[in-house]
Amino acid sequence: MSGLRRIPWAPLAVVVALLVPAAGSRFYTFVATDVAILALFAVSLNLLLGYTGLVSFGHAAYFGIGAYTTGILMKKAAIPFVLAFPAAGVLAAIFALVFGFFCVRLTKIYFAMLTLAFAQIVWAICFKWNDVTGGEQGMPEIPYPDLAWMERLPLAGQLRTSDHFYLLTVVLVAACLWLLRRIVGSPFGRILTTIRENPERAEFIGVNVRRWELFAFVIAGAFAGLAGGLFGIFNRGVFPDFAYWSKSSEVLIMTILGGIGHFYGPAVGALVLLVLNQQITSYTEYWPFILGTILIVLLFVFPGGIVGALDAAARRLTRVRRA
């Protein structure tokens, strides 16, 4: 176990991810980009779900806001990616601040429902505001960022534009995950865990629960927005569905599937779910049926998610070895 722990998994994963375009398959790059972006989305949700104990059922709102921000800035105002990408995080954070201000005043199921209501409002606006968001039709043809400079890089010169964008995505997602990892490891992260474990007690020892919850909500929203900004470009278009509640539940499932008790659990969940989706949809159109079944098995048999189950298995192994 200690040997397993000493392996630097995260840098290893980044290196492997950077090697994916070398396989030369358009399809692998496509799936890998999808996984990288949704991994960030899921990990940002877990800041609320796993670390603070807040069940947000409307996390897609911030993903959608980020996607529309980057998309509109790049397509309609021709603003370069360097500015349009951070703008996604900033705008998502502002919305998260406003919505979160009301949401953190509620507890448990009511919190979940208010986040859902706000997300549906965002969706309804995106769906109907034709002049700005393109309405129901969405906004196709978001341009790729200008990545011509990558052609001068060693090894990456011969690759396609989608590969270049993928490399950029991996670097940005890795940076965001590193930041998030720092955040949950900081004293602030400890406060969130305290709130999750016992909000009343946290209040007693002088923690302003609502304010820290709001802070967590804003950070989670900002990173979801950044993920959305990348996703709009990757998807070659932004659509109202990005903010719809089914998207929120999708990311919830990824997070639970991977395991909310571990920082990288949700990223593993994103990987497994998306790869499964690709595999299964090539055999059958009934993916929701399979997903529902997976979900039920998960809830009843592996409530700790994949990483939780692996961790428990590894622990049992070491105990056997020691004894």
Partner 1 sequence: MPDPSFLFAQSLSGLTAAMFLFLIASGLSLIFGVLRVLNFAHGSFYMLGAYLAFQTVQSLGRGPSSFWWAVAGAAVGVAVLGGLVERLLLRHLYGKEELYQLLFTYALVLIVSDAAKVFWGTQQLSVSRPPGLAGAFRLFGTLVPYYNLFILLLGPGIAFAFWLGLNRTRAGRLIRAAALDREMLGALGVNVSRLYTGVFVLGSFLAGLGGALVTPVKTIVPGMDVEIIVEAFIVVVIGGLGSFWGTFLGALIYGQVLSFGILIFPRFSIFSVFALMAVVLILRPWGLLGRPLKS
Q: Which residues bind partner 1 (CB under 8 A)?
A: 49, 55, 57, 102, 105-110, 112-114, 116-118, 120-121, 124-125, 127-128, 245-246, 249, 252-253, 256, 286, 288-289, 291-293, 295-296, 299-300, 303
Closer CB to partner 1, 110 or 178, in the complex: 110
Closest distance to partner 1 from the beta carbon of 303 (Å): 7
Closer CB to partner 1, 2 or 284, in the complex: 284
Say which residue the tokens 């719809």 belong to: 244
Report angle CA 66, 70, 75 to the nearest 5 degrees.
145
Nearest to 61 by CA among 242, 218, 252, 232: 242
Helix (H, G, I), strand (E, B) or coil at 140: strand
DSSP 228-268: HHHHHHHTTEE-GGGGSHHHHHHHHHHHHHH-TTSTTHHHH
Closer CB to partner 1, 23 or 109, in the complex: 109
Residues with Cβ within 8 Å of residue 196, at least 6 apart in sequence: 51, 52, 53
Closest distance to partner 1 from the beta carbon of 50 (Å): 11
CA 226 from centroid of its chain's CA atoms: 9
Closer CB to partner 1, 32 or 122, in the complex: 122
Closest distance to partner 1 from the beta carbon of 295 (Å): 4
Closer CB to partner 1, 140 or 292, in the complex: 292
Adjacent-strand bridge partners of 238: 139
Closest distance to partner 1 from the beta carbon of 102 (Å): 5
Closest distance to partner 1 from the beta carbon of 231 (Å): 22
Adjacent-strand bridge partners of 198: none
